[in-house]
Structure 1
């Protein structure tokens, strides 16, 4: 199995949560979730760090990463979180789009709903793909 990339624009919210949940819930050691963004922020959004701590995931030492074509070629699948046309096209790499609302600048209750939506999607994705 190959790694799964979760991608969004700033790599400071949705994709960070998705990769963390993937790594938390996966059952196959051979695969891991990574995340990146087409225009990475300097740090993970404060609200995202806060709501992930609520579910036992510490993102305080995680730094957003630039999504390059080279990095994208190291994975078998890219799950985009609504970055649209700014996500790179990589021949041979499967792309799935989950159009998920960006939690940046959202009230904490809305951010929690987004977090929970991502975790639920991750659980279904893992089950459907036997990860």
Structure 2
């Protein structure tokens, strides 16, 4: 099994949370969750850093990463979260799309709802795929 990528446009919210939750909850030690964005921001959204910190996940030193075809070729699955047609197509890499609202410019309360929904989806994803 190889790594799983979580991708969104800015790599500053949804995909960062998803990768962090994947790495927290996975049971297969040799697989890791990574994240990237098609048009990466300069930093993780402050509200996302705040709400993840509340549950013990520190995203302070995380820098958004550009999603390239080369990076995509290093994973077995890409879970997209709103990057649409800008996500690269990579032969042999499974693509799953999750329609998840962007926490950018949301209140802390709204971002918490998104965070919790992502965590629940990740738990189901791990369980269904034996990760």
Q: Where on the TM-score scale, by shorter chain, does this alignment land: which range? A: over 0.9
Deviations 1:21-60 (A, max 9, x none): 0000000101000000000000000000000001110000
Partner residue of 2:67? 67
Instruction: Return the alpha-carbon distance in structure 2 between the equivalents of residues 124 and 55 of structure 1.
Output: 19
Partner residue of 2:110? 110
Q: TM-score when scaled to structure 2?
A: 0.99
Partner residue of 1:35? 35
Measure how far apart 1:72 and its partner are.
Answer: 0.1
Moved more, 32-41 or 82-91: 82-91
Partner residue of 2:88? 88
Instruction: Return the alpha-carbon distance in structure 2 between the equivalents of residues 117 and 86 of structure 1.
Output: 24
Partner residue of 1:20? 20
